[in-house]
Structures are given as C-alpha cells and as structure tokens.
A and B are shown apart, each in its own frame.
Chain A
C-alpha cells in the first residue's frame, strides 16, 4: 500500500487513515522472542522514540548477552555486541570517540545487575552521556530460567527450586534506585509493559532518557519491568497479571530522578 505524506492511502478509500504502522526503525521480520515476552514491545517503543526524535541515523547501539542479543536483527541501527554485562563499557568507548553519536545500551537484568554491576555503576558514576534501556524480567531467560539478582523473594526459578530465600540467595537488587543516587545520572525511571497505559508511560520515560542524553550530555537509564512467561512457568496472560499486580511491590514504578526538571532531587545536586 502506498501512502501520502500524511498517511492517507493513495488509492482505495479516501476516508481511510493509517493510525498504526510499523516504525521505520523496526525491521519487517518476526522476532525470535517467546509468546508473551516483553522485548518486542520495548524494541517497538525504542524504534518509535528514536524515529520521533530523528536519532536513528546517528545512533550507535550496544547489544547485550541474553535474549536481546538479537536486537540488531529487529532495530535498524548500527550495533556492536558486548561481552556479557559489559555494554556500558562498550558504550563508553563508543561515546568517547564519537562525540556526535547518540549512544544506546540495551541490557537485561542478569546482564546489568549481576555480571555487569561494575560496568553500569562506573559508567553512571562517570556520567557517561549514554542512554541505558534496562529490561528487568527478574530471571535469566535465555539460559533456562535461573535466578537473577532481581528475582523476587519466594520466586521459584530453576536455580531456586524452593523459591528465592534471602538467607541463602540474598535480596532483590534495586539497582536503578542505587544508580539514581549518583550525581552523574541525569535521569532514572522505572516503567512497565504490563498493560497499554503502562506502555504509554514507559514510552514517555524512554523519550525523556533519550532527550537528556542529547540536551544535557548525561547518563540516563530506564528500567522496564517485563515478562518472561516461559521462564516464570506461567501463561502470557498470567505473566501480565503478575507483572501488573505483584512485581511493583518490590520495584515501584515512576521517575526516580530527573535532575534537569527537578533541580534539587534527593541524592545530590545537578552537575
């Protein structure tokens, strides 16, 4: 179908109007993600935001290790693959030699909050002008559903078959709140893809996290609570319900810090 510039079909019904279509930055392929997985939604939000902001042609993105390593098959952006957990260090290297680029790192929760803890903390501490999309589904999906640092207390995984017990496996890591304490972090927020309203809010957070990199040259992170029905051992519908009703008790939704909108947040003055 051919469209005019304002989205009207050139033939057929003159009153018909396209209100929803694939963003230009999203490849026209099916993803490998499982039914009910949230990565596809997050990819789409990113494609929409980068497209809206006109950032696609100058984006250099970093793909993580985990299910989202194939992000480069779905997002029409320049991509470099990072070793497990090291995406913020790879992004730092890109940032420092490409001052005009928009630098994006996409990470999961095992990647960012376990094996890559040092890299994310120090990229944030340096205030690297990068935007991190942190998809937290509380589990290692690709390797078969083992406990992640973000796994909820009591949650059964293949490596916590009796449920996560704080006495032996510790507590869920609120790493985005921890990062928000650092003065180099311009923006930190947590959203969710549990339902359409949440998806809209998550998109606004992603947009803000991209804008502050461009406008203020600071570090920005959006944590997006997401689903892993296969890893969780539930149906997609049950996964969405769990994500909406149970997960935010441990990981509250909302903007944690936005230093350039709120000039004196808890945790330090703007730089």
Chain B
C-alpha cells in the first residue's frame, strides 16, 4: 500500500505508519534510519521509497543499534532525523537514547508498541510506558514522550515532536501502538512543514571557527554534576511548559477514566455507554506521557469518587496516576496484555465496579 487513495472530501485514507512517515517528510526530515520490525515495517518501507526520491538520506541499518546510532551521527551533523521501531527494537536503542540525551542531540524516535516482554507478540500493546517515560537507557535523564490517539493526531505530533526535540536539544519519543500503526483512517493530507533545522553547535568541519565536540563524557565528577544540573534544569523547564492532555466530559464527572492512545478510544466508547446509563463519567487523556499531567489529576481528584485507569498493559501509567493524586481519590485499574484490547463493555464493567465500591465516598463539591 504505497499510494493513499483520495476521498471525495479531499481527505485521504492512510495507514498510521505511512502517515507518520509522510508527516515526517513534510516536516522537513533530512534523514531516516530504521530496521524492519512488525508492526512498524510500513514506516521504513514508505521512507525507503520517498526519501531517495527527495534526495534525502535513508539507510536500512544492520540493527536497531546501528539505526539509532546513525541517527546520533546525523543529528550531531545538523540533520533533522527520524528513527522508528517497535518494542524489542526499542530495547536495543536504549544505549544510544542515553548517549543522545547526554550529548543533547535532537531526534524523533517512533515506537509502534507490540506485546512483550521478550519477543512477546506482534499485537498492539502499551507495555513500553515504563521504558519510554522512566529513562529507557542508563543515567539521569528524561525524554519527552508524545502519545497520539488517532492517525490525524499522530501526524500533528510528528511536527510537534521535531519542534520539541530541536528547541530543547533532546530526543523525543512518539509512542504509538500496533493498532495506530496498522489502522487506516481518513486524514487531511496538508501536513505541517517546519523551517530547516538551525543551531550553532552541530558539526560541519572546523572551517574558520574553533573545533566543536559533541559528547556525553565528562570524566571529572565535578564536571558531570554540572552537566547533570544543566540537564535537570532543562527537564524542569520541559515539565513546566510542555504538558499536554485533553479532558472530555469532566465538568460534572464523578469518575474520571485516565487512558492514552488506543486505550483512550475504547474508554471514550465505554464512557458514552456509562453516560447513557446515568453515570457521570469523563475522560482524562494524557498526550504527553512525560511530562505527565500530574497537576491536572491532583486538581481533579478531590471532587471525584474515583479514577479508573485503562491501559493495554499490566498496569504502568497507573503508577503515575497514583503518584499524582496522592491518595486524594481511589485509583482503579483495568488492563489487557499480550496484544489483547479490552472491549468497551469490559471497561464499562470496570467503571461500574468503581462506582459501586465508592458509593459512600464523600467528595469535595
């Protein structure tokens, strides 16, 4: 599927993986490095065709280690770089993610998540939340993580991800799942373009200026602490300014479902059914998983009977929700794993149980 069919209203039907790839191209991606893995292979294939025809760089690397490290080199040399993979491949990329964070190199890294651990399955999952939001590789660092819930949103977040990466000199993860990668949806084909990458630190050869060094090594403990403090200040700035989330039907909600990505779409249907049954339920959908919308949840919690977290995992984001509400409201969890996706009525059942258990809870008005 290499050509997107045009719909009568001029929107086009695109597969998620291909839409992400084309969005990156339109955003001015100079170089793509990847390795085949299900369920993101169409992204690599789209780039294999499109990047050379535009005279831009494409390499199918020998491994995910190779791919992300090529991205490190290209980014150090001033290019706007995209890398994509799926869960097992992301594990291999942990090494260079740490080096890129330490060297402050921008790049957009797409993870189309599948079931794990190990080789797991090729079905959709959200079981890399910990990996994406809690560091990924070694050392003290954070990486902004953006989680789209539709293909149209994925397209928008690709340009936003490049922009974030370059403004803060950091890798950014776009965290999708197998359903978002494989599904087709109608999208507006007019993608956002960005001005070319510009900086005063990348490598072009020391011609008429002092040599530049891009590195993560600071051998003297005093120097490394200064560097870590600098990174920490940057992460606090990102946390202060780059939180993204969407609330739906929260005004009168007594229960808030917290879900992102594909799980949020299932939750939305379950919430509609709960509303039909007279239950006041709303949705908090984090878009930035780091920085996490903790303040929003902390504000909401005192007036809720409960929060219900829905994930395609055994329970990962739920830990951040519990940290955010600090016991101000009970937090329930419903998850499926291994490539299984909960049905809306399953989520509705979880909402009903939370409703029943908390029937005597007094909430702030």
Residues of A within 8 A of B (CB): 56-60, 62-63, 69, 72, 76-83, 86, 89-98, 101-102, 118-119, 121-122, 126
Contacts and interface: CB of A to CB of B under 8 A. Distances in A.
B213 A118 contact: no
Given A93-B70, A93-B77, A119-B69, A78 B62 contact: no
B163 interface: no
Interface stretch (B37-45, B116-124, B214-222): B214-222
A78 B204 contact: yes
A113 to B, nearest CB: 16
A121 B205 CA distance: 26
Interface residues of B, number: 39
A57 B207 CA distance: 4
Interface of B: 30-31, 33, 57, 59, 61-63, 65-66, 69-79, 81, 95-96, 99, 103, 203-208, 211-217
Nearest to A115: B65
Contact of A72 (B61, B95, B215): B215
B206 A97 contact: no
Contacts of B69: 82-83, 86, 89-90, 93, 119
Contacts of B61: 89, 122
B72 A90 contact: yes
A89 B96 CA distance: 11
Contacts of A92: 59, 66, 70, 73
A183 to B, nearest CB: 17
A24 to B, nearest CB: 11
B208 A57 contact: yes
A137 B229 CA distance: 38
25 contacts: A56-B206, A60-B205, A77-B206, A78-B205, A78-B213, A79-B211, A79-B213, A82-B73, A83-B69, A89-B61, A89-B65, A89-B66, A92-B66, A92-B70, A92-B73, A93-B31, A93-B69, A93-B71, A93-B76, A96-B57, A96-B70, A98-B204, A119-B62, A119-B69, A121-B62
Contacts of B205: 56-60, 78, 101-102
Given A90-B72, A94-B77, A97-B77, A76 B206 contact: yes
A62 B76 CA distance: 10
Nearest to A125: B62
Contact of B211 (A78, A89, A118, A126): A78
B63 A118 contact: yes
Given A57-B206, A101-B77, A81 B217 contact: yes
B226 to A, nearest CB: 18
Contact of A97 (B79, B99, B211, B213): B79
Contacts of A119: 62, 65-66, 69
A53 to B, nearest CB: 13
Given A93-B71, A119-B69, A81 B214 contact: yes
B18 to A, nearest CB: 22
A15 B77 CA distance: 47
A83 B214 CA distance: 12
B76 A80 contact: yes
Contacts of B207: 57-58
Contact of A89 (B70, B204, B212): B70
Given A78-B205, A89-B66, A93-B74, 9 more contacts: A58-B205, A62-B73, A69-B217, A78-B211, A79-B203, A90-B72, A93-B73, A96-B70, A118-B63
Given A72-B215, A97-B31, A97-B74, A60 B62 contact: no
B203, B205, B216: most-surrounded residue (chain A CB, <10 A) = B205
Nearest to A32: B219
Contact of B214 (A79, A86, A97): A79
A78 B206 contact: yes
Contacts of A95: 73
A118 B62 contact: yes
Contacts of B208: 57
B236 to A, nearest CB: 26
A90 to B, nearest CB: 4
A58, A96, A119: most-surrounded residue (chain B CB, <10 A) = A96
B63 A80 contact: no
A83 B96 contact: yes
A242 B204 CA distance: 41
B77, B96, B212: most-surrounded residue (chain A CB, <10 A) = B77
Given A76-B206, A93-B77, A82 B59 contact: no
A86 B96 CA distance: 9
B166 to A, nearest CB: 15
Contacts of B211: 72, 76-79
A94 B73 contact: yes
A1 B191 CA distance: 61
